[in-house]
Structure 1
Amino acid sequence: MAPPQAFNTPEFRRSDGPGQHNAASAWDDGFTGDGVTIAVVDTGIDPDSPEFAGRISPASTDIYGSRGIEGPDDHGTLVSLVAAAARNGTGVVGMAFDSTILAIRADEPGSCGGDNPEDPSTECGFLDSAIADSIDHAVANDAKVINISLGGPGGITQALRSAVTNAVNAGVLVVVAAGNDGRGELTTFAEMLGDAGNGGVIIVGSVDEDYTISDFSNRAGANPQYFLAARGDRICCVYEDGEIFVDEEGFVFLYSGTSFAAPQVAGAAALLAQAFPHLTGNQIAEILLETAFDAGAAGDDSVYGRGILNVARAFQPVGTTQIAGETTALALADSTAVASPAMGDAFSAASIQTLVTDRYQRAFSTDLAGTLRGADIPERLHGAVGQGACHISGGSSRASVAFSIDASGRQPPRAEILLLQSEDADRARVLAARVALRLSPNTQLGFTYRQSADGLVAGMQGRDRPAFMIAASGTDDDGMLAMADSAVALRRQVGDWGLTVSAQTGSTISAAAERRAAQLRGQRVEEDLASFALSLDRQFGAFDIATSLTWTAEDSTVLGARFHEGFGLAGSDTVFIDTDLGWRFADNWRLGAAYRQGFTRLRSAPLLADGSGLSSNAWSFDLQRSGVFAANDRLALRISQPLRVASGGLDLNLPTSFSYDTLTAEYGVQRLSLSPGGREVTGELAWIGPIWGGSAAASLFLRHEPGHYADAADDVGAALRWSRRF
């Protein structure tokens, strides 16, 4: 991962660890360890080094009480450099360069053999009692992380075990070097510390610049569960008088050891502790281990344990995510919304800035716009000519029945309501429904299965409208992908007016883009809807008019758009007002116009603010000439706009900030516009008539900005269809 430009400096490139473990991504977000104390239990520190200026805790101490914090060798100083060297443009930079170092000198008096930083292990001796006292001192002085880059081949005392356990119980993370014996197993010392931590201790082995386990490093062995690897091989550089030491021949000295891999992890832990101050040491350990880069054998293994430190991944959500303050899972890899055709490209310019929390109640800023999926552009030609069904109908003056059976061979035959098109739509009149009954001269009753109530009502009203393959009437488009289950309509002629009441049940259909579970992937998601309508129609000489009021109730969707359960939406209600006009201004000529106006309101929901709603419309104009080439043929032209959201959207009450003290979110309103930038306008020239003993239809069409996508290429085409009754 390339570091942000602001951090890609010579100082950064000299530093072995931050670049290799992707720390700069956390730095770029402002997390540098500021305010976090790392306790380094070691041989002390160089208090005069400019790399720690102003950042050595006043609680730093010699655990034996009288020698001061500057030790007999550079081991403790080098460990501290890896963890926290300043970002000052010189030398190297540490993993958590703004953190505070609590230096605890714990070497046994008189035990150190000399200053030899190139030796992978310190030559000083450390008593368990001194280490235990140092841990207690670190906890008492608010250290969040304790680094122990020392050890021994033997076991540990009960006092040291208790000190580690108490530190972990106090919320502190303990980081321990794995040791430099090149063993296939941990030392007893490291293993016992890991066990004492009960999940709050990380044992750290060393890898080189190629992410290969170092020859000298002890391996995870039978304890991969708390083993993590980090750069500890050939680390730059030895310091003298606060600067990188260069010998007379111009060489610098590198140092190696798991002692220096451990502070890479301790520094990473400090970054997490600053960013997410509510985390315990156990949780930080879990995050670092779970987000490690997998190395060696897949999964946990006996060499690399849980893997290699990856700071960038540790700063990404872990486990199930949800909108902050909510409980329903919302995975950032899922689609959080699927638009309906009426919304077209509305999501292309959307922005939904909010906060999500992960398994550890860590809040992350995200723009959910990247998880919104625009509507699929409807392929109207396929629906017009690709049916492959056999249609059967029959009846008398009092009753009629029509049904279709699949003839494509792709599905088992089943009874299905016939969506009458072309000349059948005009001939059928009453027969527009699959079962139609005339109860009296002025009363009709109809039922459908798998057909909308619109076609049923149109048949009862006897509307003489031209049939087109592509361009729908303005009053026939509800702007959503939906499937009717059943419909019923009752029409009564009252004087010159026809009054029709109808009802329909069905479901909206949207792609299962929310991969909530593997078994849903690639399937369809259905949501219930129901509609109720009241219609009036009348003839005025050469004029005819039909108008209706329709209420559509959607259980979970919004004008056919499906939103992730994480938003907690409770469905919507839409009222459509329709007007359909016709004028026979001359023999064999008819001029028609249709307009639909929709108003959608969302039902109350926790994340929905007042004012959410949509306004939508559709329209069409058509001109028809009958008897063009034969007595029963027709030629018609239609210009139409499918239903389109004209204005409005969702006012979402979403988290804008998160308190780690109370683990609660504060909210602000964000507008998600559902009005597309594109506008589909369809033109179609259609002919229909008898030919070769059957019925033929031909169409030339142009769809400008199809699907209401502003950048979509025009859809231009032609279609021919021929059918015959048997």
Structure 2
Amino acid sequence: MKLVVKDFLNVRVGDPNVNAPSFQYLAPGSEVEVDGRLYKGGEFEKINTWYKDAANNYYWSGGFAVEKIVTPTEFDPAKMSWGHERYNLPFIWNKLKTTGEGITVAVIDTGADTHHEDLATKINPLSKSFVGDAGNFNDTDGHGTTMAGIIGASGKSKVFGVAPGAGLLILKASEHKRGGDVKLFAKALDYAADIAAVDIISFSTVLPDDADLKTAIGKCHAKGKVVIAAIGNARDISIPEGPDVNTFPACYDNVIAIGAFDPAGNIVPFSNWNPQLDLLAPGDLSVLTTTLNNGRGFGGGTSIATAFTAGCLALLLASAKGKTSKDKCIEAIFSTCDDIGPTIGRDIRSGRGLLNLRNAITKL
């Protein structure tokens, strides 16, 4: 993987540490080939991750420029899914002149494949694991890699995310996609709230109601983070599908709760529902994304729909930065959904309706 140096950068020999021997430095604009993996090492300016080249030289990760995303002008079925086509994302990227640059999405999940060619350069150096070694947020389950790819896969290899220019803060809170220790998820939220660069938090796990989790959500809201969470798949929870089903953190105040719809615009049968549901986004079982071992594959469910919504909001925030508030961007999404309910307005089965990114853009 090739990286471009942002500032003068020392080449450290044999050890990822600022105290390791250095016999040369790289000037801004220099290119260096690294193996694509992030290594935990000495901390400098609150960043403790490093890259390594084939000669066992280490480079502080904070010294590199953000990778420039080259986007196509037309839909590419080899690297995009039906959601890209539905909203004509290549046109939107070029019309807005952004793919999410300057926006960071925290992905609280099972980690991410740190070697994936479409993700490695997107991962924020402050990423962290709350399971075991804090510096090892590599994904062994696959769920987190799937979510990260939907949001921000670069498209340089196999897959384009919705916002391929957005940064990804990977927060590993569980080894497995089906829940985990709710206290670790609360810690991950608390951590994300304190990272100034984070704009959006994508949360695709359903958990039980918990005081610490609720408090962490409140902190995120107070610090200006937009939390987007999956309403849940009925097949994945122990209680029957229906309007009395509360899933968390989606059902807390100040969280955008997401269900799923299919290419025909129909509600996905397993998408949960209740009065807290805000809207539906692409999330059947045929959404293309990144998978483990530098792969590509298909996923679905309200988890996918949540990540897709996070990517869409990242595009809106990037285009509106310095001009329009986050609240107005959220309102643009809410007010332009395609209403498919039996009555006009929000309902418990489909929320406000189907996400309509193109209409939301014209609203701003």
TM over 0.5: yes
Query: 2:180 aligns to what SS in structure 1?
Result: coil
Which has a greater percent of strand? 1
Aligned to 2:284: 233
The correspondence of residues 368-447 of structure 1 with structure 2, limited to 5 A, is none
Give 1:193 deviation, angstroms: 4.3
**Alpha carbon RMSD of aligned pairs, Å?**
2.3
Partner in structure 2 of residue 8 of structure 1 = 75
Q: CA deviation at 1:223?
A: 2.8
Are positions 1:255 and 2:325 aligned together? Answer: no
Q: Does residue 18 of structure 1 match 2:104?
A: no
| Alignment map for 1:189-200 (pairs within 5 Å) | 189-190=247-248, 193-197=250-254
What corresponds to 1:81 in structure 2? 149
Q: Secondary structure at the match of 1:273?
A: helix
Letter in 1 for 2:295: E
2:256 to 185, 202, 205: 202
Q: How does 1:570-581 map to 2 (within 5 A)?
A: none
CA distance in 2, matches of 1:18, 1:162: 35
Q: 1:135 maps to what in 2?
A: 189
Q: Are the counterparts in 1 of residues 228 and 250 from structure 2 also a CA contact under 8 Å?
A: no
For 2:326 and 2:212, the matched residues in 1 are separated by: 20
Give the corresponding residue for 2:109: 42
Q: Which of 273, 278, 282 matches 2:317?
A: 273
What does 1:504-653 correspond to in 2, within 5 Å?
none
Shift of 1:25: 3.8
Query: 1:59 aligned to 2:126?
Result: yes
Unaligned runs of 5+ residues in structure 2 are: 1-70, 236-240
Q: Are the counterparts in 1 of residues 145 and 290 from structure 2 also a CA contact under 8 Å?
A: no
Cα pair distance change 1:189/1:303, threshold 3 Å: closer
Contact 1:178–1:187 (8 Å) recurs in 2: no
Post-superposition CA distance 1:164-220 (Å, at most 9, x none): 112112221100011001623374233x644331xxx2111011111111111102x
Which of 1 and 2 has greater Rg?
Answer: 1
Partner in structure 2 of residue 167 of structure 1:
220
Q: Which has the higher contact order (CA 8 A, sep 6+)?
A: 2
Structure 1 SS opposite 2:118: helix
Give ranges in structure 1 of 5+ residues lacking alignment. Answer: 113-121, 245-252, 318-361, 363-726
Alignment of 1:83-482 (within 5 A): 83-88=151-156, 90-107=157-174, 112=176, 122-123=177-178, 125-141=179-195, 142-152=197-207, 154-155=208-209, 157-181=210-234, 183-185=241-243, 187-190=245-248, 193-197=250-254, 201-219=255-273, 221-224=274-277, 227-234=278-285, 235-237=287-289, 239-244=291-296, 254-278=298-322, 279-297=324-342, 298-317=344-363
In structure 1, the partner of 2:47 is none
What is the distance in 2 between the residues matched to 1:138 and 1:147? Answer: 11
Alpha-carbon distance between aligned partners in 1 of 2:107 and 2:191, rounded to the nearest angstrom: 11
Q: CA deviation at 1:292?
A: 1.3
TM-score normalized by structure 1? Answer: 0.37
Q: Deviations over 1:42-79 (max 9, x none)?
A: 00000110111321000011024516011221100001
SS for the counterpart of 2:229 is strand
Q: 1:185 to 1:280 in 2, by over 3 A?
A: farther
CA spacing shift, 1:26–1:97, aligned 2, 3 Å: same
Displacement of 1:133 in angstroms is: 1.4
**Is the 8 Å Cα contact of residues 173 and 280 (structure 1) preserved in structure 2?**
no
Task: Report the alpha carbon displacement of residue 23 of structure 1 after superposing the two structures with TM.
Answer: 3.2
| Contact 1:172/1:280, CA 8 A, preserved across alignment | no
Write the distance in 2 (CA, Å) between the matches of 1:31 and 1:186: 41
Range with greater deviation from structure 2 (60-69 or 76-85):
60-69
Q: Does the CA contact (< 8 Å) of 1:179 and 1:187 recur in 2?
A: no
> What letter matches 1:165 in structure 2?
G
Distance 1:47 1:19 in 2: 28
C-alpha distance in structure 2 between counterparts of 1:194 and 1:273, whole Å: 24
Size of the aligned set, in residue pairs, is 283
Aligned counterparts of 2:250 and 2:205: Cα–Cα separation in 1? 12
Task: Find the aligned partners of 2:340 and 2:259 in 1 and give their Cα distance.
Answer: 13
> Structure 1 residues 187, 105: CA separation in 2 closer, same or farther (over 3 Å shift)?
farther
Distance between the aligned counterparts of 1:98 and 1:259, measured in 2?
21
Question: Equivalent residue of 2:169, what SS?
Answer: strand
What SS does the aligned partner of 2:106 have?
A: strand
Per the alignment, residue 65 of structure 2 pairs with none
Q: Which amino acid in structure 2 is aligned with residue 133 of structure 1?
A: K
CA contact (8 A) 2:242 2:272 kept: yes
Q: Do 1:168 and 1:282's aligned partners in 2 also have CA atoms closer than 8 Å? A: no
Residues 1:24 and 1:294: Cα distance change in structure 2 (over 3 Å): farther
In 2, are the aligned partners of 1:173 and 1:282 still within 8 Å (CA)? no
Q: How much does 1:303 deviate?
A: 1.5
- Alpha-carbon separation, structure 1, partners of 2:251 and 2:100: 25
Instruction: Please identify which structure carries the higher helix content.
Output: 2
User: Deviations along 1:599-644, whole A, 9 cap, x unmatched?
Assistant: xxxxxxxxxxxxxxxxxxxxxxxxxxxxxxxxxxxxxxxxxxxxxx
Preserved CA contact (<8 Å) 2:233 2:271 = yes
